Amino acid sequence: MSPISEVIVNKQTKNNPIWIMRQAGRYLPEFREIRKNNPDFIKLCLNQNLSTEITLQPLKRFELDAAIIFSDILMVPYGLNQKVEFKKNFGPSLGDLNLSKISELTEEDFVKKINQVYEAIKLVSSNQLVKNKDTIGFVGAPWTLLVYMINKHSPKLKLANNFFSDELLINEILKILDKFIKIHIKNQIDSGAKIIQIFDSWAGLLNKDKLDKYVYDPTLSLVEFTKSLNVPVICFPRGIKDYKKYSEYVKPDAICIDYEVDPVQIKKEIKIPIQGGMDPKILLTDKENLKKEAKKYLDIFKDHPYIFNLGHGVLPETDPNMMDYLVKMVKDY
Ligand code: CP3
């Protein structure tokens, strides 16, 4: 069994498994080289040969235990025919929502529109570099996708006051998302994904009274679906205050924590395998400090099933040598 599955399924940490969110991305010069000639990000995600190459880039450099497929959570709104663009120094920018158009969409249309993602997963999974490692597929949680679909770009610190004004529309979109995210999960698994991670990057924007309806219930539906396909699922509800309650309610196989979570406290509260935690900004400091901080997490979780990762994606300004140092340090721990 691969080291990450060993942690999640057998609850044993062997060989200090490690992978990094956004491990394929802008901090790597070989990625920037490809990106320079491919200004359309969505088109790049839909070029199965290039997205396979990008997915494998970090595995050629570092002894990571998983490949995470080079794609984006916004491929789902794109597959639902909402316009999605990525603007330099701005991030994602989505077009208007046309509910009647989305409601008419069939599974076949959706799969056809983003099929190259699944082709890339097949290519990655069968590559020698991924032997004895996991291919991780992923989706955005319904709440985070709803935020993008309605807000049309990344929210800054809070939601617009009128965000919840059209409840009928919101309920309709949540229903559609539940259906199509499941289709996306199933197709990734059928193509070779061995683990699914659910990113709920904007879970922290909600008040307690709205968590049941927008975070807990819709995510539980996806977790149960993924488990029914016999594939483990990791959840990352970034910024949520009560990780314990989340874990008990949503019941993922493993939980990924953000860098604001106190690792000592969470270890006491949570029984399931834990992933991540270290602040990505630590990689912008020096090796001595990096070693100290990484060791802190490894020490705390030495008797708890743990997968090393960061508390959010690796930052574009990270020096690949620092990543190299981190991976070696974790493996030699
Ligand atoms: O290596 C990996 O982790 C796999 C690929 C991956 C990407 N996006 C590629 C990407 C994954 C898992 C994601 C998830 C994603 N996308 C999330 C959830 C995780 C998180 O960061 O909170 C979110 C919210 C998005 C939406 C998104 N995509 C934003 C906000 C942006 C722009 C800002 C940014 O961080 O770059 C993207 C673009 C994006 N997705 C890039 C990459 C490598 C950068 C594209 C570029 O080259 O300009």
Average pLDDT along the chain, 333 residues, taken 10 residues at a time: 90 90 97 96 97 98 98 98 92 93 94 98 97 96 97 89 92 97 98 98 95 97 98 97 95 97 96 97 98 98 96 98 98 93
Helix (H) or strand (E) holding 306: strand 306-307
d(CA 246, CA 27): 32
What ligand 1 atom has the least distance to the C-alpha of 25? Answer: 43
Ligand 1 center to 12 CA (angstroms) = 30
Which pLDDT score, from 0 to 100, does residue 1 have? Answer: 85
**Within 10 A of 333 (CB to CB), how many other CB atoms are there?**
16
Nearest residue to 17 via CA among 29, 28, 1: 1
- Residue 133 Cβ < 6 Å to ligand 1: no
- Residue 41 Cβ < 6 Å to ligand 1: yes
Which pLDDT score, from 0 to 100, does residue 14 have? Answer: 81
295 in Cβ contact with 333 (< 8 Å): yes
Which pLDDT score, from 0 to 100, does residue 172 have? Answer: 96
Ligand 1 center to 25 CA (angstroms) = 8
CA 11 to chain centre: 21
Which residue's CA is minimally distant from atom 45 of ligand 1?
Answer: 41
For residue 114, the one-letter residue type is: I
Which pLDDT score, from 0 to 100, does residue 287 have? Answer: 98
How many angstroms separate the first and last alpha carbons of the chain? Answer: 21
Which pLDDT score, from 0 to 100, does residue 13 have? Answer: 81
pTM over cut 0.85:
yes
Q: What is the CATH number of domain 3-332?
A: 3.20.20.210
Helix, strand, coil percentages in the chain from 3-state DSSP, rounded to 5: 50, 10, 35
Which residue's CA is minimally distant from atom 24 of ligand 1?
Answer: 201
| DSSP-H helix ranges across the chain | 3-10, 29-36, 41-45, 48-61, 75-79, 99-104, 107-125, 142-151, 167-191, 208-211, 217-228, 243-250, 263-269, 287-300, 320-332
Which pLDDT score, from 0 to 100, does residue 156 have? Answer: 84
Tokens of 181: 């995210």
